[in-house]
Amino acid sequence: MQAVQAPVIPIIGELTRSTPGTISLGQGIVSYGPPREALVAAAEFGRTIEEHRYGPVEGSPALLAMITGKLRRENGIDATHERRVVVTAGGNMAFMNAVLAITDPGDDVLLLAPFYFNHDMAIVMAGCRTITAPTDANYQIDLDALRDALTPRTRAIVTVSPNNPSGAVYDEATLRAVNALCRERGLYHINDEAYEYFTYDGVTHFSPGAIDEGREHTISLYSLSKAYGFASWRIGYMVIPEHLFESVNKIQDTNLICPPAISQTAALAALRVGAAYCRPQVDTLATVRQLVRQELQAVGDICDVPVSTGAFYYLLRVHTPLDPFVMAERLIKEHRVAAIPGSAFGLTQGCYLRISYGALDKDSVAAGVSRLVTGLRAIVG
């Protein structure tokens, strides 16, 4: 555990709380809550004794059926043939389940840099090693760099699309190429799709789990935390090859026993409402995204701001030798705006900052970005 990186969100959160009036562009959450139907279902939960007992390790039959239908309609994934759906306590648990199921201690798991820090933490906790492949200047996959980074002990390649922390969305051709490389090398392809609905400018999301030839080596991860405003409910799910179910069943039974029944009840109601609930929220975020992009143009001479067409992040490259954590600390203490240092995402060369525009209303985001621009100009020059 000493080798696991410290969780950056609580650290920045404590700095933010200790500086009253700070606007946080840090944590990646949405500003809205669950649909009303989910809250009604949760309020009605618990009227029978059965609802207070352990349920199936993999999730309730009703929720599994609802998810299976959603996967077929929206993701092109047939989860009834040589595959299984497992409901988890959030997307992070789904990733932990996957890593423990497919690796032995000492194995390697390849992440694309920048990576989601909790993925790196889970890999190290499993006694494995994170290896990385760089992405290009726009945070898109470099297939040659990906191949070059593989080692004899690599067990999986992880992709996150739409991406946290960069906001990049990987196109279908590239994800198919990664999936084919995994099939060729005998690796698993783990694709995290927590931000599947959050795309802009006509960009579309593609699920590698829809690739017929990939059903034996593709693991797809999902979450309700973002799209349905379910962050505190801790509900996600994973689609795994049938042959991994025995291992995942052991892992989940030990760590969780079963997904929380009240959260599953709320999730079932939310999924009945479906993507129609999420789409207007994404439209609102699209407007905020444009505002942020325009504001960041004011520091275009001291920052690179690659195009972001997904999730609700921008990942800035700041032209300074300053350590990114020092930069983040100064922005909080001197300018009352919080961002996440890029070092948490595996970016060890240069000063990177991730900003999130999902958690606040439009006016608060505008005020926060204005402070960020002023702070960067004051610190960097």
pLDDT digits (tens, 9 = 90+) for 192-209: 999 999 999 999 999 999
Domains along the chain? 8-28+276-380 (3.90.1150.10), 36-273 (3.40.640.10)
Model-wide pTM > 0.85? yes
Label residue 182 by pLDDT band (50, 70, 90).
very high
DSSP state of 49: G
Q: Which two tokens stand for residue 179?
A: 């999936």
pLDDT in tens, 69-102: 999 999 999 999 899 999 999 999 999 999 999 9
The distance from CA 255 to its chain's CA centroid, rounded to whole angstroms, is 21
Q: How high is the mean pLDDT of the chain?
A: 97
Q: Phi and psi (nearest 5°) for 159?
A: -120, 145
Q: Which two tokens stand for residue 217?
A: 């080596």
pLDDT in tens, 317-359: 999 999 999 999 999 999 999 999 999 999 999 999 999 999 9
Report how far residue 309's alpha carbon sits from residue 314's, in angstroms, rounded to the nearest whole number: 9
Q: Which of 68, 171, 178 is nearest to 112 (CA)?
A: 178
- Residues composing the chain: 381
Report how far residue 109's alpha carbon sits from residue 187's, in angstroms, rounded to the nearest whole number: 10
Label residue 285 by pLDDT band (50, 70, 90).
very high
pLDDT score at 54: 97
Label residue 39 by pLDDT band (50, 70, 90).
very high
Report how far residue 134's alpha carbon sits from residue 131's, in angstroms, rounded to the nearest whole number: 10
